[in-house]
């Protein structure tokens, strides 16, 4: 499991989604870790998958 290099927060548990954008390559998400570290994630398109972009509320805590 990958972890944030700064604080060890599991990268599979997104703390906060700042923005999400559809691109020709897939969905690009700008996220923030619990420690404040910014991350850019790319989720490639999967044939037959429904892809949406939007804002998710921050995780409780």
- Is the residue at 52 inside a domain? no
Please check whether residue 57 lies inside any domain of the structure: no
Alpha helices by DSSP H, the chain: none
pLDDT in tens, 24-54: 889 999 999 999 999 898 989 877 766 555 5
Q: What pLDDT does 16 receive?
A: 92
Per the domain annotation, does 9 fall within a domain? yes
Tokens of 51: 């892809």
Q: According to the model, what pLDDT value does residue 30 have?
A: 94
* pLDDT above 80 (res 58): no
Tell me the residue range of the domain where 11 lies: 1-47
Give residue 20's pLDDT band: very low, low, confident or very high (50, 70, 90). very high
pLDDT surpassing 60 at residue 17: yes
Structure tokens at 11: 């990268």
Total domain count for the chain?
1
60 falls within a domain: no
């Amino acid at each position: 499991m990958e972890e944030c290099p700064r604080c060890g927060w599991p990268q599979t548990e997104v703390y906060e989604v700042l923005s999400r954008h559809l691109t020709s390559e897939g969905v690009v998400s700008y996220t923030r870790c619990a420690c404040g570290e910014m991350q850019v994630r790319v989720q490639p398109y999967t044939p037959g998958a429904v892809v949406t972009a939007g804002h998710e509320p921050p995780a409780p805590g």
